[in-house]
Amino acid sequence: MAKVKYTEDNIRSLDWKEHIRLRPGMYIGKLGNGSTPDDGIYILVKEIFDNCIDEYVMGHGSEINVSIEEGQVTIRDFGRGIPLGKVVDCVSKINTGGKYDSKAFKKSVGLNGVGTKAVNALSDYFYVQAIREGKAKVVEFERGELVKEHRITSTDEENGTMVSFVPDFSIFKNYKFVSDFVENQLWNYAYLNAGLRINFNGKTIVSRKGLYDLVMRKTEVETHRYPVIHLKGDDIEIAMTHGNQYGEQYFSFVNGQNTTQGGTHLLAFRDAIVQTVREFFKKSYDAKDIRASIMGAISIRVEEPVFESQTKTKLGSQNIGPNGPTVKKFIVDFMKKDLDKYLHQNPETATAIQKRILQSERERKEIAGIKKIANERARKSKVHNKKLRDCRIHFNDKKGDIDLKNASSIFITEGDSASGSITKARNVQSQAVFSLRGKPLNCFGLTKKVVYQNEEFHLLQHALNIEDGMDDLRFNNVIIATDADVDGMHIRLLLLTFFLQFFPDLVRNGHLYILETPLFRVRDKKQTFYCYSETERKNAVDKLRGKAEITRFKGLGEISPDEFSDFIGDDIRLEPVIMNEDTNIEKILGYYMGKNTPQRQGFIIDNLRVEKDELEEEELEKLLEEKVVG
């Protein structure tokens, strides 16, 4: 083994921007291309917006403007504005900022002064304008390097700060902002800051009742078992109700930050609900039955919070503050006092909660017997290993490595040829394959018993390890990989129905995707283009000057493993399955998967006409081309 020299020449000192650009994951988590809500480009937006929120919380400005056009983000608040003499320092010098003054930013989202600097370093272009008392200061950067510092000028504009940036394409490759992700992010800020007006690309986002509005907007109101319980105290706010859906649905926040991975406060909230309900009814109900179908939100404020990463998606703080109680005690005490009081004052709500608990208990016991038989049948036939080609790294390995977690994927395919191609092309470290046999059952309107009675669904659930909820999910990315034909689309729809019906949390938490694969291969002797649409095919033919071999892929099985490795590697194209603010699962599934309705029949007929017209236009163009050539 060759010896590696270790001398003074091996020691490097990086400046602030070099370190951020060399190790961006330390500052913003994973990079990504914008196809998932926790991709880096959305963290950049959040880091700038957090500063605006801090101004609002401290009573400065009631409106924030946000626009995103062609990859450029512009955010303008109406707070106090960065002190003009410190604008350059605040956006380009690590360990410089106002948040080290605990009096001014006692319960701020970010306390380390890194966020804005990270945005600056990771942007092709970064512009900041500070306005204070009739004076304005502008500075411009490129990839963290100061390129122009403007002189202070007079202005009639209101106080505040405007930041505009373009994420660096060399770091965030082929990125694209998904408007739904940004809008959802901004709605969360609105819920936590009642009265704040956010203007985003022509839309106005505002909430008057805080977390009450959140639960009302993000859940299906007609399924609520009782009116939303909304309780507020010093540094804490909660809202909750029970519904009819499977699983638990929570939204948690700390100091205005959406903690998508939960943390100590969410664990305490879930435990506090169980303790309070048990003590109120004087019954030792199973925790799973108490929390089944719950829809809840919690927001707390913590002094100098400790998060498990720079992206602040999981709270690690054990205490509310240096001299305060533990997070768990603070939340449990609040719930035992205020929720217990609410239940005594609203006996009809207490009765509705008890009915839901007893219903869940009956369903759980009924399923337990079926589940035992199904697991025994699968064990005897050893069918688990036949369906799943597993990988080595899993989402629930608890290794704390963000990049590894987000690389853990499972492709759900149909047929031996398709699963064979993906299996040979995959990365065995982080990509698994689950093979379906034929079309799955349409499970719309069925109970969860069908998950265990149907072998395909039972084994798929087992492979994902979601029998007891999302806590032990083995794969961060669950990818539906079916052919781009009518049968493939039908299978895709049946799988979407399965997940939305029984495991909606998988979709809500951003784990479900559709794999995009090329429809055409266009090549000559020197170049090969893989095209995902008719437009891309035409462009490729034009680039090859019309002399090209065109292959239409009819199914995934026709794509060789060598080619497939290109489509599921670094350049993988994933279409996220997104649940919007107004998504109503029951109505959507009823429309697409229920019995035929006049509305659906009309939709099909109208779209068939459009397709027919398009085909006629294509045929006409073809005939004209042939006539010209002739």
Is 391:429 a contact under the CB 8 Å cutoff?
Answer: yes
The packing angle between helices 264-281 and 347-381, to 10°, is 110
DSSP single-letter state for residue 159: S
Report pLDDT for 401.
45
Chosen CATH of 211-364 out of 3.30.230.10, 3.30.230.70, 1.10.540.10, 3.40.50.300: 3.30.230.10
Q: How many CA atoms lie within 13 A of 187 on its CB side?
A: 19
**DSSP symbols for 559-621:** S-HHHHHHHSSTT-EEEE----TT--HHHHHHHHHSS--HHHHHHHHHHHHHHHHHHHHHHHH
- CA 294/CA 302 separation, integer angstroms: 25
Report pLDDT for 606.
73
- Cα–Cα nearest to 461, from 478, 445, 447: 478
Report pLDDT for 62.
92
Report pLDDT for 72.
96
Question: What's the CATH class of domain 383-517+558-595?
Answer: alpha beta
Is 515:572 a contact under the CB 8 Å cutoff?
Answer: yes
- CA 56/CA 78 separation, integer angstroms: 8
Is 436:504 a contact under the CB 8 Å cutoff?
Answer: no
- CA 114/CA 106 separation, integer angstroms: 17
Q: Facing residues of 412 across strands?
A: 434, 480
- CA 316/CA 330 separation, integer angstroms: 15
List of the chain residues with pLDDT < 50: 1, 100, 102-105, 110-112, 399-405, 610-612, 615, 620, 623-630
Report pLDDT for 611.
46
- CA 555/CA 488 separation, integer angstroms: 9
Domain 16-205 has CATH 3.30.565.10: yes
- With a CB cutoff of 8 Å and minimum separation 6, the contacts of 473 are 395, 396, 464, 465, 466, 506, 511
Phi, psi angles (nearest 5°) of residue 91: -110, 0
Q: Is 173 helix (H, G, I), strand (E, B) or coil?
A: coil
- CA 66/CA 46 separation, integer angstroms: 11
Is 108:157 a contact under the CB 8 Å cutoff?
Answer: no
Q: Is 81 helix (H, G, I), strand (E, B) or coil?
A: coil
Q: How many CA atoms lie within 13 A of 474 on its CB side?
A: 20
- CA 475/CA 465 separation, integer angstroms: 9
Report pLDDT for 592.
78
- CA 150/CA 135 separation, integer angstroms: 12
- CA 153/CA 166 separation, integer angstroms: 25
Report pLDDT for 96.
53
- CA 348/CA 571 separation, integer angstroms: 55
- CA 131/CA 69 separation, integer angstroms: 23
Is 356:242 a contact under the CB 8 Å cutoff?
Answer: yes
- Positive or negative, the Cα torsion across 191, 193, 199, 200? negative
Which residue bears the tokens 């779209």? 607
**DSSP symbols for 472-527:** G-S-SEEEE---SSHHHHHHHHHHHHHHHHH-HHHHHTT-EEEEE--SEEEE-SS-
Is 255:266 a contact under the CB 8 Å cutoff?
Answer: no
Exposure b/e, 463-472, CB count within 10 A at least 16 = b: bbbbeebbee
Q: What is the pTM of this model?
A: 0.72
- CA 27/CA 32 separation, integer angstroms: 14
First to last CA, the chain: 70
Q: Is 305 helix (H, G, I), strand (E, B) or coil?
A: coil
- Cα–Cα nearest to 423, from 456, 383, 389: 389
Q: Is 277 helix (H, G, I), strand (E, B) or coil?
A: helix
- CA 136/CA 157 separation, integer angstroms: 9
Report pLDDT for 403.
46
